[in-house]
Amino acid sequence: MAIMTSSPTYLPVLERVAEEIGHTPGRGRSADYIPALAARDARAFGMAVAELDGTVYGVGDWREPFSAQSITKVFTLALDLAREGDELWEHVGREPSGNPFNSLVQLEYENGIPRNPFINAGALVVTDRLQTRTGDAAGELLGFLRAESGNPGLDFDEEVAASETVNGDRNAALAHFMASYGNIDNPVPILLEQYFRQCSITASCADLALATTFLARHGLSADGTRLLASRQAKQVNAVMLTCGTYDAAGDFAYRVGLPGKSGVGGGIIAVVPGRCALCVWSPGLDERGNSVAGVAALDRFTTLTDLSVF
């Protein structure tokens, strides 16, 4: 039974979710290929909800900064889509991949066009195109997140970026392969530097919930200006729903029923169009790279509130 009122106060729901999650055994394992991520406690937990007017509620470690990682792909997609519109979709698809997020398998027989913007190959294409249009894709992203979250202290984590560079052979292979098909404009080393810095941004649940709220406002930024047309915001939300949690997107849609995007830092953002945006963080991941407690918490939230797109 839903426990929300027509004038929602989300804190009681969040407190109940946090209590239930606290009794759940098994939280997965922190990502181990980046030392800064491997050191995080897999049982840490935070969750925040941001309303359309910027009011934000949270529980647990909701003010604790963590590595946003692939969550940032949502924002670079929005920033590039705002600049070039539908031309972007000539270079990256909108279909679920069904393969791991760093897979090279589909690129060859699909002529260097990645399946969607949220697998690594697709995110590299989007970052490349934003780099071409701005000259500093990572800096453009950071400025946007600072403005939308209201937190000027957001920044890159140079240690994480350096770790990703050392372990970046697969991403380099993806970029070079797509460049061979003419689907990358910038020199691959420049693109990789921008991409790794983008993924290294640290932010809290509160920051990311607030930064995501433009998608709940159908494209309106925090200052009331329009970043995306309503149609474009719908597109981003749709791709999040179908592709935002790697090759577990179907299960996420089944359990949570919201557009969402995860990252291997343990965070997940989600959107309730016209109502609010959420971010949950717990570093323990399942075998597909999604936060175990994060998915469970969003599942409980939508079950308790009846807030879903279905």
Torsion, Cα 83 85 88 94, to 10 degrees, reads 130
Asked if 262 is an active-site residue, the reply is no
Q: How far is CA 285 from the centre of its chain?
A: 15
Nearest Cα residue to 205 out of 57, 26, 2? 57
Closest Cα to residue 301, out of 66, 70, 57, 26? Answer: 57
Catalytic residue among 13, 188, 195, 271: 195
Residue matched to tokens 């990703």:
164
For residue 246, indicate whether it is catalytic: yes
234 is catalytic: no
| Residue 195 is a catalytic residue | yes
- What is the enclosing helix (H) or strand (E) of 179? helix 169-180
How far apart are alpha carbons 65 and 81 in whole angstroms?
Answer: 27
Residue 264 annotated to the active site: yes
Q: Which of 30, 67, 70, 149 is catalytic?
A: 70
Catalytic residue among 49, 246, 262, 282: 246
Are 117 and 125 a contacting pair, CB within 8 Å? yes
SS3 218: coil
Residue of 10, 56, 73, 126 marked catalytic: 73
Q: Phi and psi of 202, rounded to 5°?
A: -105, 140
Class of residue 83 by CB neighbours under 10 A (exposed 0-12, middle 13-18, buried 19+): middle
The CA distance from 272 to 206, in Å, is 16
Q: Which of 59, 125, 256, 264 is catalytic?
A: 264
Token pair recorded at residue 148: 């939308």
Listing DSSP states for 12-27 in one string gives HHHHHHHHHHHT----
The three-state DSSP-derived secondary structure of 92-131 is CCCCCCCCCCCCCHHHHHCCCCCCCCCCHHHHHHHHHHHH
Active site residues: 70, 73, 195, 246, 264
